[in-house]
Structure formats: structure tokens, C-alpha cells
């Protein structure tokens, strides 16, 4: 019954057919959809307990912002969009560890876990896509994104194809020069591991069992 109720919840969140690849508009619309709060300067409202059931305010201090900037500068090998995405992956991993130690989501189990709903230490793909978008917006606020702009998260899924195609959400970056879109998916792997960063159209066609390697 728990699995069935969770599946129904995902269907309600994502729709009953292959869904919103061309989801345009400001990232703020995503926060409104899930009754969350967009970041304000260094403060984020971390979604957890599945579907943003709980939201906890966390503020990155000057020390954390400086450490993130230094990490990104150290990680980049060249001034290219590809290397910026690589640096972003390391920054997002850092931000999940730091906020996780504050809120308790450091214990988040990767991927689908039907027992996680309502558990404040756990995050589903809605929580992850929302939190990753918040983290990206913090990076953007501090001028740490040169080649990309933060986009509005979207979902993939087709429930007619079974549980493997239940709606699944991701954060989105748009590459400024080509306007290509990149999925930044932190849900698949454990806290502290880099997220997947791949072209959005490739991500869109993956099933939930398909796991590209995290960006390293």
C-alpha cells in the first residue's frame, strides 16, 4: 500500500503522460508549484521529507561561499562551458554535504525509497530538483556562473510504460551561447557524490534504472 500511495503521489506531481520537457519560465515558478521559497542571497529553504513536505531555512556564510568559489576555481581546467559544468558538479556536492549536516539530510538515501516519505532526513526527486536549483541560483547570485543560466526544473515520465517511467524531476542549466539545456540530477547518487550533468534531451529519454556516471 505504501508503494501504491507513493506511486500515485508521483503521478499527481508529474502528470499522467510523457511530460514537461519544454517547461519555460522563471525558476521561481517551480518554487511556487511546490509551495517552497526561492533562495534569497545566501539563504535557501531546503526541501525534504519528499515533495517539499518540510522546508528548512539554511544560510551559507561568507566562509562557505569562499570555499565554494575556491573549489570551483580549482576544479576548472579551462574557461569553457564544459569545465564550468564540471566545477558546478563539485560545488553542488559540497552544498549538499554542508546543508545536509545542518538539516540532517546527510543521511539521505540515493534514488527511489518508498519508505522515505515523511522522513525529514530523506529527499525525493522533487526535493532534489528544488534544492539543486536553489544551490545553482546561489552560485548565479555570486557571479560564479559565466557560461550558464539557471532554468526552470522539469520532469520526464510516461506512466503507461510502468514504474520505471514514473515522473522524475531535475534541475536545469541553459548554456548561454548555444541555448542548449543541461540536466543537473543530484537524486541518483548519495550525498557527497557529484550529480549527473548531461544534456537535457539525453536525460529525458533515460529510464529510472539508467544511471549515467556522476560528472567528475
Q: What is the DSSP string of 182-208?
A: EEEE-SSS-TTSPPEEEEHHHHHT--T
Q: What are phi and psi of 122, to 5 degrees?
A: -110, 155
pTM of the model: 0.86
pLDDT digits (tens, 9 = 90+) for 152-209: 998 876 443 444 456 789 999 999 999 999 999 999 999 999 999 999 988 887 766 6
pLDDT digits (tens, 9 = 90+) for 132-166: 999 999 999 999 999 999 999 988 764 434 444 56
Amino acid at each position: 500500500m505504501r508503494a501504491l500511495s507513493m506511486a500515485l503521489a508521483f503521478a499527481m506531481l508529474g502528470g499522467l503522460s510523457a511530460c514537461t520537457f519544454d517547461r519555460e519560465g522563471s525558476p521561481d515558478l517551480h518554487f511556487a508549484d511546490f509551495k517552497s521559497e526561492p533562495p534569497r542571497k545566501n539563504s535557501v529553504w531546503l526541501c525534504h521529507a519528499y515533495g517539499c513536505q518540510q522546508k528548512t531555512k539554511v544560510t551559507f556564510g561568507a566562509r562557505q561561499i569562499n570555499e565554494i568559489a575556491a573549489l570551483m576555481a580549482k576544479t576548472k581546467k579551462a574557461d569553457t562551458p564544459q569545465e564550468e559544468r564540471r566545477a558546478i558538479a563539485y560545488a553542488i556536492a559540497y552544498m549538499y554535504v554542508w546543508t545536509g549536516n545542518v538539516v540532517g539530510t546527510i543521511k539521505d538515501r540515493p534514488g527511489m525509497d518508498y519508505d522515505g516519505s515523511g522522513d525529514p532526513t530523506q529527499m525525493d526527486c522533487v526535493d532534489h530538483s528544488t534544492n539543486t536549483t536553489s544551490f545553482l541560483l546561489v552560485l548565479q547570485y555570486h557571479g560564479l556562473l559565466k557560461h550558464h543560466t539557471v532554468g526552470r526544473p522539469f520532469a520526464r515520465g510516461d506512466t503507461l510504460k510502468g514504474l520505471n517511467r514514473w515522473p522524475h524531476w531535475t534541475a536545469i542549466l541553459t548554456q548561454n551561447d548555444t541555448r542548449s539545456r543541461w540536466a543537473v540530477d543530484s537524486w541518483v547518487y548519495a550525498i557527497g557524490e557529484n550529480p549527473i550533468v548531461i544534456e537535457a534531451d539525453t536525460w529525458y529519454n533515460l529510464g529510472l534504472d539508467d544511471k549515467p556516471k556522476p560528472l567528475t
